[in-house]
Structure 1
Amino acid sequence: MLDTRISRRAALMGAGAAAAWLASPARALLQAAGRMEVPGFVNDLVGRMTLEEKAGQLSLMASAWGGGAAAALNPPSDSNFPKQLEETRQGQLTGVFNGNGARMARIMQTAAVKESRLKIPLIFAADIIHGHRTIFPVPLAEVSSFEPELARRTAEVAAFEAAGAGIDWNFAPMCDVARDQRWGRGVEGGGEDPLLGSLFAAARVHGFQGSDFKSNEHFLACVKHFAAYGAAEAGLDYNTVDISERTLREVYLRPYKAGFDAGALSAMASFNEISGIPATGNHWLLTDLLRGEWGFQGFVVSDYTGDEEMIKHGYAKDGRDAARIAFLAGVDMSMQSGLYRMYLPDLVRSGEVPEATLNTSVRRVLAAKHMLGLFEDPFRRIDEKREKSRSMLPRSRAVARESGRKSIVLLKNEGDLLPLPRSGKKIALIGPFASGQHDLVGPWVVYGSDANAVSLETGVRAAVADKNSIIAVEGSKVEQAIPGGIDQAVAAAQAADIVVLAIGESQGMSGEAQSRADIVLPKPQQDLAEAVAKTGKPIVVVLKHGRALALEGAVKDAPAILATWFLGTETGNSIADVLFGAYSPSGRLPASFPHLSGQQPYFYAHKTTGRPNPDPKLDDYKARFRGITNTALYPFGHGLTYGKIAYSDFAISGPSLPMTGEISVSARVTNSGKRAAEEVVQLYIHDRVGSVTRPVRELKAFRKVKLEPGQSEVVRFTLKRDDLLFYGVANTPTVEPGTFDVWIAPSAEAEGVHGTFELTA
């Protein structure tokens, strides 16, 4: 089942790789799977249902018998499990989410298929965002790998474990582009770039669903949050989105479309409004665009009470009105509010909702259950012995460790402080994350736990020759000082040769409802860092975080900095692999680290404006904030290796690209260092003049190459007309002749090597 080998696709990622993925037989299988089949028996079943039973098939509720952290993440409206069983018998539920494993699912499914009138099976859903029992890096971290194939493999493991625990449907992947790091839910997504986000969205759908919907090793994916949730004003969760259709199409819609094109058959409407209309009630978004223009054949579910929240938006006058608006806009299934089962029957009887429209939504839901094999065998994913036998297998943890180390980004390494020696040096682990099984798995974990995860101290002690060479001191809490903590930390630093400073955010500081106005380290940790820095000992900062941060003072000035995010079950081992050189860091930033919080939203693909200030010199009356340039501290795509990488010998196949032709660009990438390295070679373009102004750079391709010491490789990319498309004045895809800049570079703000070409008519 689980293939932990590195595939050919894992070795070649980027524009060429993206094209290969998008044209692959695997993708063709998934697109075929994206066609919804409605068998004849479904039509017969719909004809026998009462209006109340139809509304029940469109009503999803949190499990009254929740699993793990489920109750805290999504509280059930009622924890009365016998009552929920009775609702199942009465046909008032289509299913539940975040329930307590296979035993609970068996009890409920038995009530549905043996004790209800129509014997319609339930569907069991869950939030398996980055793992079930084995927890992988948070999605934003995993995108740092620049390996979509890795995400496919971790999604496959997550599906293998969760489907074995009775789960049929997963509320993932999250496909929101996030360009404001204050937004807490950026941790669940693909970062600031739509191409990178699209590749990872498609890969995760592939991993979750596989090629057979009926497999008990896979489950249904749900593309969320549709749409543009990541564009919430000021990065404030649940906030308003006011956006042009052009930006919506060029940037924010692309990863969702990639997920649907990969075969996802369910979508979740987002909480936010878009230009005055809540997504849950947006007919243009959910019907005209999603079903009409894109041809989506699956079903749409609201987010948690999203339909009811239109009342607070000021878009619906009451629950009945909200149910009507959401349903007619294109939301097939209501989550948690109960509004559909309360009001849809009467809305149909009054003529406000056509029964034919209700029947269409019910058919979609029943057809999805059929495609998942639930009518053939309602218990195909429910097996308590299988649930235990699939949990946290050694090969699953091996994938977690691999994914963790590939997600780490080396931001800085002055004087080649890293990798650290395994012997001969005393190391002080200092900080709130230096030791202990806490804040390891990260936010949005329902079924896994820190108790089964490897701490930093454990991983480091296992990696060094002498375990007594490690001193671990907390120094401070995450957001509180410890009496005498700094003194203890300073003493530990003075007694050591090297300090590993483990600081950052707790897992409760990222995720839903965790927007931050100031994306800096909490003051107690900053104070700790300043005090330790005064000892003069070399410091390696190991950041724990769910977003890009604005680094300050001693943290910013430390000679070595690792961005390690939340890495999941194998956290300590993954970090130790990089710290001590068992693995040369290969991660690259999927989100730009700003100089200051006040730069947010900051992203690399911004416009120049009429008064740009690209020079390091701070000119007056230019587009910048006081005292800083309009750049990132560490830009999108940045990341160092333990090699010495240089770019040279830019070459282009010709001066022009005909509309029906292609052009090849290449560069020589050399590792002159003493250690092997993996470099993520990135291709960017800039359209100098257009009928609509264009970003300063746009990522069009990337390729991950492994270079031995002293090795060079010519990395080549091909560009075609379609790679230069943008949405024109009429909000339709267009391409215009003109001059294009092209860079092959190690990041979005690095020069790398550069050239130009003309697109000719």
Structure 2
Amino acid sequence: MTIISVKTERKSTTLTMKGSYLSLAVLLGLGGCGEAQQAAPTNTVTPQAATVETSAKNTIDLWPALTPAIAKDAELEAKITALVSKMTVEQKVAQMIQPEIRDITVEDMRKYGFGSYLNGGGAYPNNDKHATPADWIALAESLYQASIDDSVDGINIPTMWGTDAVHGHNNVIGATLFPHNIGLGAANNPKLIEQIAAITAKEVMVTGIDWVFAPTVAVVRDDRWGRSYEGYSEDPAIVRDYSFAIVEGLQGAVSGDFLSDQRVLSTVKHFLGDGGTEKGIDQGDNIATEKMLVDVHAQGYVGGLNAGAQSVMASFNSWHGEKNHGNKYLLTDVLKDRMGFDGFVVGDWNGHGQIPGCSNESCAQAANAGLDIFMVPTAAWKPLFENTVAQVNSGEISQARLDDAVSRILRVKLRAGLFEKPSPAKRPLSGKTELIGQASHREVARQAVRESLVLLKNNQNVLPLSPKLSVLVAGDAADNIGKQSGGWTITWQGTDNKNADFPGATSIYSGIEQVVSQAGGQAMLSVNGEFTEQQKPDVAIVVFGEEPYAEGNGDIDNLEYQRGDKRDLALLKQLKAQGIPVVSVFISGRPMWVNAEFNASDAFVAAWLPGSEGQGIADVLFTDADGKVKHDFGGKLSFSWPATPQQTTVNVPLATESAEVKAQYQPLIPFGYGLTYQSKVSDAVVLDNLSEDNLAAEQTLVDLPLFERAVKSPWSMYIANSAERQGLSSSVAQNSALTIRTMDRVVQEDARLVSFNGSEQGVVGLISNFPRDFRAYSNSDSALTLSIKTTASLQKPLWLGMACEGDCRKQVDIAQQVNGKLGEWQNISVSLACFASEPMDFGKITMPFYLATSDKVDVSFSDVVIHTQPGESTVQCKK
């Protein structure tokens, strides 16, 4: 075999991911993997040249002039002025720096006195996923005490800890996990939302944390967006009302127990227009008119600011090509001046580094635009601190702007009573671990599950079910608490979690089994729907849906469910063909095109992402033992349901929109729809004999990302040596042959660094617990491609391989190609023809990629993709 290679350098991207992607492998439930070490490079990409008419942009009178919810307090303002007057430039800048817990020490806090710090999604005290509440409190206490220790930095202003508690205290093992926002939007119950927020505040305070990065108030306009489930609705009115309710629930009412010892600071995010980017691309460009920005995307801020929100988070996205983190018009002129916001604006995860001309380590423009706190994880915090001090001293950032930022931070801290409250370990709720996942909290979450369910189809009144029946429960989401909880669940992406990681929680199957067994029926779990003739059930409940994802990793290019791999549809058809009534329970973070699945179901429930209390679904599906309905369906679609995979921007028209726009609104199922047990046949949208044509004439074979910013479902990353293979569930892992950790190449944790020690052959790769069909790719000119870098020349083979069911495998030595460009990132692309000889079976691929060597060498890799048109960079194989 001869290998010929032409290598091309891949262009960089400007996206920055937030949170900490620690989780990579569900398969095997073993092991651990890498954390971010490198800062992202300087952003040199120029803004898009999206010109807009003067009348469509920067028309300040379009924006609501709000009266601040909290009146200015002269005594408090005097305290702020006095504090600021005593502070040095260094002390002031330190208040603007927010590092992440994995990148600072207690001594760093003592030396610099950071105004705040955070734990990204999937970051834990001691890097321990199973850290106890006591561990969280200990870290909070030590960093707090260091912040008020003036022995080194000369100042004793208390710090604040911020966390992404977006559907409960979701980073902590055992916490109550509520349905994600999309499900809560279907419930349309602001009072329930306020109650959920208050419970979240209590569970957060148990761990000594002051501040929550919630609510997300994005108004989703394109359901391809991977954060759609973080939006309550496509209707800005629901988002506005919910924003008010959740801010009051977290912080308390301004006229009541505002920021008492039972409450936490909230953050309304992300300002502005993150739900309206072109093609639903996360961190992309929103080209809405300014009026649409006000009427749609700003309404959540109207609600949140009216409730007294004390912080607002800037958004990664751009508006007409200008990054929001550097947009003075939006952050200062609109938010602070016009809308009267006197709290602080915090950045998102290194979002300032995306501004053209800025980097993670230096960005005067963001501060000048109105950013008050830089969220700066990784080691970039130190040079950012030093550069910001220098920029103030040089006048690039004015002293007035610095003082304004610090005054806003101090104002919030004083309002929150942080100068008077006890230290984190001594606060009233701190350490009360009985509040974490308390039964009364779980009951509220269970209620939220019930109210969020939307009944879309119920032929012949299949539902409700008698609990005395023989019930088959099938589907890979039936007994999978991680899948039913979605992203932002213990880990950033919500992956690599097992049921054992959710003490006190209930899977959907276990809730069904409890109801049925108590009534004398029989519930049988069979993920693949198999049963013996003697076990033939009266009804099948199939629980299936999307794998967990967060942020950009959930972006898709159309709404077809399981495109090219209809395994769940096959399960539904298999059961229906046996004459078994089929009830589908669909787990998803957005409405999806499931026409074929509708056709194959007798009843269909949109369950969204219900969280830890799966038994709430059984509460609604089943009657009591006497046949009486216990809980009816009440959920209504807060998102319109698409009629085709390409109908990604179908949104209920606003009252102010034209008759023409309203006439064009033609979803499969309209906004606000939802059946009940009292619904008549005439009330129902007919979901039988729907077209299963996905309009895919133009949908030729598309590139298949395997690892691109994160591992793509259904693959999991693993490492192996000669004796064993282990899955990864943390940011760093090792075996006797290698160590692996995450690293930042362009965006957060988008690459892996593997240090092979040379003692034996080590392997890192991707694996699935069921085979995948790659025949369409192998029959084309597709290639397996990756970006790779080594710093030392390989003396032994570096194998790039694929494997299929039965442990058949083929591999290619790419050491020569890698050695051709040491110390630099390069693309290696190997034609699938190189792996095509016997015994490779492309119809049953279980490992689409692995790297293996027995050399002693550090290898970094990213962007592993099956490319359909690899072009000149392909490694060709000649026999």
Fold in common (TM above 0.5) = yes
Q: Distance in 1 between matches of 2:265 and 2:633?
A: 33
Q: Does 1:47 align with 2:100?
A: no
Q: Which residue does 1:59 correspond to in 2?
A: 97
Query: In 2, distance between residues paired with 1:49 and 1:221?
Result: 27
Structure 2 counterpart of 1:740: none
User: Could you say which residue in structure 2 is the equivalent of 1:125?
Assistant: 162
Residue 97, structure 1, aligned to residue 149, structure 2 = no
Give 1:494 shift.
Answer: 7.7
2:302 corresponds to 1:257: yes
* Aligned match for 2:543, one of 502, 516, 525: 502
- 2:208 alignment counterpart: 166
Specify which structure has the bigger relative contact order, considering alpha-carbon pairs within 8 angstroms and separated by 6 or more residues.
Answer: 2
SS state of the match for residue 419, structure 1? coil
State the AA in 2 paired with 1:540.
V
Of 630, 647, 651 in structure 2, the residue corresponding to residue 599 of structure 1 is 647
Q: Any conservation in 1 of the 2:67–2:340 contact (CA below 8 Å)?
A: no
| 1:36 shift after superposition | 9.9
* Equivalent position amino acid for 2:546 in 1: E
Query: Aligned match of 1:643 in 637, 659, 678?
Result: 678
Tell me, yes or no, if the aligned pair for 1:94 and 1:123 is still in contact at 8 Å: yes
CA distance in 1, matches of 2:533, 2:69: 58
2:374 maps to 334
Deviations 1:196-230, CA, capped at 9 Å, x for gaps: 11111111001010033442211111110000000
How do 1:240-389 and structure 2 match up within 5 A? 240-310=285-355, 315-318=356-359, 323-336=363-376, 338=381, 340-379=384-423, 386-389=431-434
Task: Give the one of 504, 514, 523 matched to 1:452.
Answer: 504
Structure 2 distance, partners of 1:118, 1:105, is 18
Q: For residues 325 and 644 of structure 1, what CA distance do their matches in structure 2 show?
A: 57
Alignment partners' CA distance in 1, 2:283 and 2:533? 44
Give the match for residue 186 of structure 1: 228
User: Is 2:493 the partner of 1:441?
Assistant: no
Contact 1:34-1:263 within 8 A present in 2 as well? no
Q: Deviations over 1:676-706 (max 9, x none)?
A: xxxxxxxxxxxxxxxxxxxxxxxxxxxxxxx
Which letter maps to 1:363?
A: S
Taking a change above 3 Å as real, the CA distance of residues 349 and 511 of structure 1, as seen in their structure-2 partners, is closer
Could you tell me which amino acid in structure 1 is paired with residue 70 of structure 2? A
Amino acid at match of 2:641: F
Relative to 1, partners in 2 of residues 1:60 and 1:538: Cα closer, same or farther, differing over 3 Å?
same
Letter in 2 for 1:147: N
Taking the aligned partners of 2:323 and 2:674, their CA distance within structure 1 comes to 38
Aligned amino acid, residue 464 of structure 2: P
SS in 2 for 1:343: helix
Q: Secondary structure at the match of 2:511?
A: helix
| 8 Å contact kept, 2:583–2:603 | yes
* Equivalent in the alignment of 2:195: 153
Helix, strand or coil: the match of 1:597? coil
Q: Which amino acid aligns with 1:105?
A: A
Q: Which of 557, 561, 585 is residue 633 of structure 2 equivalent to?
A: 585
Structure 1 residue 434, shift from structure 2 partner: 1.9
Structure 1's 641 and 392: CA in aligned 2 closer, same or farther, altered over 3 A? same
Q: Aligned equivalents of 2:615 and 2:582: distance in 1?
A: 18
Is 2:218 the counterpart of 1:176?
yes
Change in CA separation of 1:33 and 1:193 when aligned onto 2, cut-off 3 Å: farther
Q: Corresponding residue for 2:109?
A: 88
Q: State how far apart, in whole Å, the 2-side matches of 1:521 and 1:571 are.
A: 22
How far is the alpha carbon of 1:572 from its aligned partner? 2.6
- Does 2:250 correspond to 1:208? yes
Partner AA of 1:91 in structure 2: Y
Note the C-alpha offset of 1:637. Answer: 0.6
In structure 1, distance between residues paired with 2:417 and 2:508: 43
For residues 135 and 31 of structure 1, the distance between their equivalents in structure 2, rounded to whole angstroms, comes to: 30
The answer on whether the counterparts of 1:36 and 1:297 sit within 8 Å (CA) in structure 2 is no
SS state at 2:275 partner = helix
Asked whether the equivalents of residues 520 and 552 of structure 1 are also in contact (C-alpha less than 8 Å), the reply is: no
Q: 2:271 aligned with 1:239, yes or no?
A: no
Q: Deviations over 1:356-410 (max 9, x none)?
A: 2101111111121111111112515755863413211111111111111011111
CA distance in 1, matches of 2:268, 2:450: 27
1:532 lines up with 2:575 in the alignment: yes
Given that 1:526 and 1:555 are in contact with CA atoms closer than 8 Å, whether structure 2 keeps it comes out as no
User: Does 1:519 pair with 2:552?
Assistant: no
Amino acid in the other structure paired with 2:407: R
Q: Is the 8 A contact 1:441 1:453 kept in 2?
A: no
TM-superposed CA distance for 1:91, in Å, is: 2.3
Matched, 1:406 2:446: no
Distance 1:43 1:329, change over 3 A: same
Change (3 A) 1:298 1:540: same
- In the TM superposition, what is the alpha-carbon distance from 1:451 to its structure 2 partner? 4.1
- Measured at CA, do residues 440 and 579 of structure 1 come closer, stay the same or move farther in structure 2, by a change above 3 Å? same
SS in 2 for 1:527: helix
Percent identical = 29
Task: State whether residues 212 and 264 of structure 2, in contact with CA within 8 Å, keep that contact through their aligned partners in structure 1.
Answer: yes
CA contact (8 A) 2:345 2:372 kept: yes
Which is further off, 205-214 or 574-583?
574-583
Report the Cα offset of residue 39 of structure 1: 3.9
Q: Distance in 2 between matches of 1:592 and 1:489?
A: 34
Residue aligning to 1:651: none
Per the normalisation by structure 1, the TM-score is: 0.71
| 1:493–1:535 contact (8 Å) kept in structure 2 | no
Q: Which amino acid in the other structure matches residue 653 of structure 2?
A: A
Partner of 2:543, secondary structure, is strand
Could you say if the C-alpha distance between residues 252 and 36 of structure 1 is closer, same or farther in structure 2, counting changes exceeding 3 Å? farther
Secondary structure of the corresponding residue to residue 99 of structure 2 = strand
- Contact kept, 8 Å, 2:223 with 2:559, in 1: the verdict is yes
Structure 1, gaps ≥5 residues long = 1-27, 65-77, 476-487, 615-622, 624-629, 648-669, 671-761
Give, in angstroms, the shift of residue 445 of structure 1.
2.8
Cα offsets for 1:307-361 (capped at 9, x unmatched): 0121xxxx225557x5211011100110015264132211111111111210111
Contact 1:33/1:263 (8 A) holds in 2: no
Partner of 1:565: 608
The one-letter code sitting in structure 2 at the alignment partner of 1:112 is S
The AA in structure 2 aligned to 1:118 is I
1:631 to 657, 666, 675: 666
Q: Distance between the aligned counterparts of 2:239 and 2:599, measured in 1? A: 28
**In the alignment, residue 591 of structure 1 is paired with which amino acid?**
F
For 1:521 and 1:356, the matched residues in 2 are separated by: 53
Partner of 1:304, secondary structure, is coil
Structure 2 length-normalised TM: 0.62
> SS of 2:242's equivalent?
helix
Query: Contact 1:34 / 1:264 at 8 angstroms: preserved in 2?
Result: no
List alignment gaps of at least 5 residues for structure 2: 1-65, 126-135, 170-174, 495-500, 624-628, 684-879
Task: Give secondary structure in 1 for the equivalent of 2:670.
Answer: coil
Distance 1:613 1:334, change over 3 A: closer
Q: Is the 8 A contact 2:251 2:266 kept in 1?
A: yes
Q: Could you tell me how far 1:526 is from its partner in structure 2?
A: 2.1
